[in-house]
Amino acid sequence: MNYFHLEAKVISRGSGRSAVAASAYASCSEIYNDYDGVTHDYRKKTGLVYSEVMLPTMAPAEWADREKLWNAVEEVEKTRDSRLSRELVVALPRELDPVVWVEMLEKYLNEECVSKGMCADFSIHDVNKYNPHAHIMLTMRPLNDDGSWQAKTQKEYICYKDGVEKGFTAEEFKAAKNLGWEKQYLYSIPGKKKKIYLTPAQAATIEGSKRTSKYPKSSKYGRQNPICEEWNSDRQLQTWRKSWEDIINSYQERYGIAERVSCKSHAARGIKEQPTIHEGYYARNMEKEGLVSDRCEINRQIKADNSLLRKLQKKVKAYSKAASDNIPAIASKLEKFFKSLVVYTFQLHLKKKQKKAAEKRLGELKELKKIYEDCTAKISSRAEERKEFNGKLKNLKPYQKIQFIKYTSQVALLTEEIEEFKSERSAALSRYGMPVETRITDIRREIKDAEGIVEKLGGQIPEIKKSKEDTLGKYKAEIHALSSDMFAQISEERTKIHDEHVNEARQILSDSLKKSSDKDLFAKAIKEVDATLSEIEPSVMPETENKKKSLLADLRADKEVAARIPRKVKEKDKDKGMSL
């Protein structure tokens, strides 16, 4: 597992969801909802691996049955827009077994949720064997020691004293009242159209003022329960994310999996908080393979490498034409060929490595596009279908109970399916390293860019290969022209200047040699060139010497033949020559 995914949602009536329906859908079970009288039956749904309800010590034991747990939640939440449950969707490591997934989730939920008073209902899904994940539903109200629900908020009265306003709960106001704090009420004032909030003491000083409401001034949403406030905070979400990261990494280490995940945001990792698509996962992973940070920089590097190739080709031609009438000059020429061969070999390996990485990423992007478009199409079709059923529900008469249950059940199913496909799409974006705000147009543009990079790299490789072969041919030609005695002297001279040319090669490649992996590739290139040249030199020298020996043998043979020719024949030939 090389990616992190934890998605947090709130299941609320305002969004058209039900805690009972969500739990039944996630656990592939049948649950009756007391709130609206609808039975949610998802027993035919596939992909469930395991499900479990975990309770804190103060929770009623009967809540181990998820039907009783979530009906208790539905009962305590009275309003049409009540927040019923928090849902976390987390990705699980494919490399680990389902038994380990359960152990991981139990450990995580015990430490982070159940021990703090939340009830947890989790279900593990693995439909296609490539995207294992868990749906975790958490209660949002704290529990008292007797197992009863605490209030999410308390009424907060905005009181007044000496020109200052301050909020107090009913319990707090009992003490504050003795310190001079007063509640404020709406009053009408003679000569003023607008009513204003005054304390009874203030109103007593204004002749004709009249109180128009029995309700004291209060904050809009009341005083939030401090436990609820903590559970709903961004700080808590970050804690959950970090804890899940630690759980994954610890289990992967335990089972010998080298990869690690990170929950850190882009900003925390030194990446722009809202990265463009070209500054995301693709660029960062190509960077590991020797490319720089984004699309523009990748293209800039390709252009720079093309320019380097042209310059190097011109230099190799110049080396070939350079005078070589003495030992130092020949040694310098051969070392320059060596330097060029190192640069070509490095570039050839680097471009192949980059092209392989770009092709791999292109395949990932195409797979992501397929998943994204498939999920989006399913979301769209189900949203249209849900809209039709909601329209039918609005037109029902009060006595049409059967149709109401049928349509409500269908709306709940479609809603849960929409949420499932949204989560699948979000998980796919995380799996392929894309920001959650990514749209299909971004993915298509990324694919086009990746195809362009693959094509450009593919064009560079044969050109670099040909330049390397040409340079090697020139090197061989220079070696062929040397005698063994001269070769020994030149080798000694080359040893003196070898490091200098290695450093020059390193300088030429300085833009690429910024990563340790590329430095290793440079060392590999030197070793490879050394091995190639060491194979050439011993094989060439004997061949040169053999040619010389053969020539000398031919000359000696000619002399021996000449010595055996009779003197009279020679003189006769001589006379013929003179007569001519």
Tell me the pLDDT band of 518, cut-offs 50, 70 and 90: confident
Q: What are phi and psi of 128, to 5 degrees?
A: -105, 10
Q: How far is CA 472 from the centre of its chain?
A: 43
**Would you say residue 319 lies in a domain?**
yes
User: With 80 as the cut, is the pLDDT of residue 533 above it?
Assistant: yes
111 and 127 in a common domain: yes
469 and 508 in a common domain: yes
Per-residue pLDDT reduced to its tens digit, 399-412: 999 999 999 999 99
258 and 357 in a common domain: no
451 and 503 in a common domain: yes
**Would you say residue 562 lies in a domain?**
no
**Would you say residue 107 lies in a domain?**
yes
Find the mean pLDDT for residues 69-80.
Answer: 95
Q: Could you tell me where the DSSP H helices lie in 432-483?
A: 440-480
240 and 130 in a common domain: yes
State how far the Cα of 508 lies from the Cα of 497, in Å rounded to an integer: 17
Looking at residue 297, its pLDDT comes to: 57
497 and 378 in a common domain: yes
pTM over 0.75: no
State how far the Cα of 374 lies from the Cα of 377, in Å rounded to an integer: 5
Which is it for strands 120-125 and 83-91: parallel, antiparallel or unpaired? unpaired
**Would you say residue 465 lies in a domain?**
yes
User: With 70 as the cut, is the pLDDT of residue 340 above it?
Assistant: yes
CB under 8 A, 24+ apart: contacts of 400-406: 401/37, 405/37, 405/38, 405/39
Single-letter amino acid, residue 25: Y
How much of the chain, in percent, has pLDDT values that exceed 90? Answer: 60
Looking at residue 299, its pLDDT comes to: 61
Looking at residue 24, its pLDDT comes to: 97
Q: Which of 224, 252, 279 is the last residue of a domain?
A: 224
Looking at residue 322, its pLDDT comes to: 53
**Would you say residue 160 lies in a domain?**
yes
**Would you say residue 307 lies in a domain?**
yes
Residue 117 Cα distances to 9, 55, 147, 208, angstroms: 19, 8, 10, 53
Q: Coil, helix or strand for 130?
A: coil
User: With 90 as the cut, is the pLDDT of residue 111 above it?
Assistant: yes
Per-residue pLDDT reduced to its tens digit, 150-160: 999 999 999 99
24 and 112 in a common domain: yes
The domain that contains 135 carries what CATH number?
3.30.930.30
187 and 248 in a common domain: no
- What is the radius of gyration, based on Cα positions, of the chain? 41
324 and 466 in a common domain: yes
Q: What is the number of domains present in the chain?
A: 3
User: With 70 as the cut, is the pLDDT of residue 571 above it?
Assistant: no
Within 10 A of 444 (CB to CB), how many other CB atoms are there?
14
12 and 101 in a common domain: yes
How much of the chain, in percent, has pLDDT values that exceed 70? Answer: 81
Find the mean pLDDT for residues 172-201.
Answer: 95
Per-residue pLDDT reduced to its tens digit, 247-290: 999 999 999 999 899 887 544 444 433 333 333 444 445 454 44
Looking at residue 536, its pLDDT comes to: 78
Q: Of 162, 167, 168, whose CA–CA distance to 202 is shortest?
A: 162
Looking at residue 574, its pLDDT comes to: 46
User: With 60 as the cut, is the pLDDT of residue 213 above it?
Assistant: yes
User: With 50 as the cut, is the pLDDT of residue 174 above it?
Assistant: yes
Residue 161 Cα distances to 193, 200, 203, angstroms: 25, 12, 14
Looking at residue 277, its pLDDT comes to: 31
**Would you say residue 187 lies in a domain?**
yes
User: With 80 as the cut, is the pLDDT of residue 109 above it?
Assistant: yes
User: With 70 as the cut, is the pLDDT of residue 526 above it?
Assistant: yes
User: Residue 176 is part of which domain span?
Assistant: 153-224
179 and 205 in a common domain: yes
368 and 462 in a common domain: yes
Looking at residue 318, its pLDDT comes to: 61
Looking at residue 477, its pLDDT comes to: 86
Find the mean pLDDT for residues 302-317.
Answer: 65
8 Å CB contact between 545 and 487: no
Residue 279 token pair: 């500054």
**Would you say residue 389 lies in a domain?**
no
